[in-house]
Amino acid sequence: MLRTLVYVIAVLAMAAAGVMAFREPLTVALIDQVAPKPPGLLKNASLDDPYAATEFHRAFPEGSDEAALRKWLVAEKFEITEGGTERRSALLEILDSKCGKEFKINWFVNSDGTIRNVRAYGGDALCF
């Protein structure tokens, strides 16, 4: 029992020394490890071209059901905003150690619940 306790204390002391000696690299690695990953459907998204995210547009083309789009956005942790009766937008910000990524989806909803004018933007937008 005493041997195990000494071993645990030694391991914890070495870990603490490592954290103190390499604080920034360990912090950076930890931030990158726990940071959410960008949505797969938006891997080709661009800040300049709203149609570059081809996989997203294949999944949610003009005329798609808005409920399906909203379900996906909620699952990916986007914040959805409604602007009036037809206009919608959704925002996802992901911070990591190097920069931050921002993804924004804009669309309009028709009276029958389908979507139109869908635009997807994304990329390194939160660099300091």
Q: What is the pLDDT of residues 51-68, one digit of tens each?
A: 999 999 999 999 999 999
What is the tally of structural domains in the chain? 2
What's the pTM value of the predicted model, to 2 decimals? 0.72
Give the per-residue pLDDT at 14: 56
Residues 24 and 81 both lie in one domain: no
In the chain, the N- to C-terminal Cα span, in Å, equals 50
DSSP 73-106: HHHTTPEEEEETTTEEEEEEEEE-SS-EEEEEEE
42 and 101 belong to one structural domain:
yes
65-105 pLDDT, tens digit per residue, is 999 999 999 999 999 999 888 999 999 998 876 778 899 99
Q: Are 46 and 122 in contact (CB under 8 A)?
A: yes
Range of the domain at 116: 36-124
If asked whether residues 15 and 45 sit together in one domain, one would say no
Phi and psi angles of residue 41, each rounded to the nearest 5 degrees, phi first: -65, -15
Residues 55 and 117 in one domain: yes
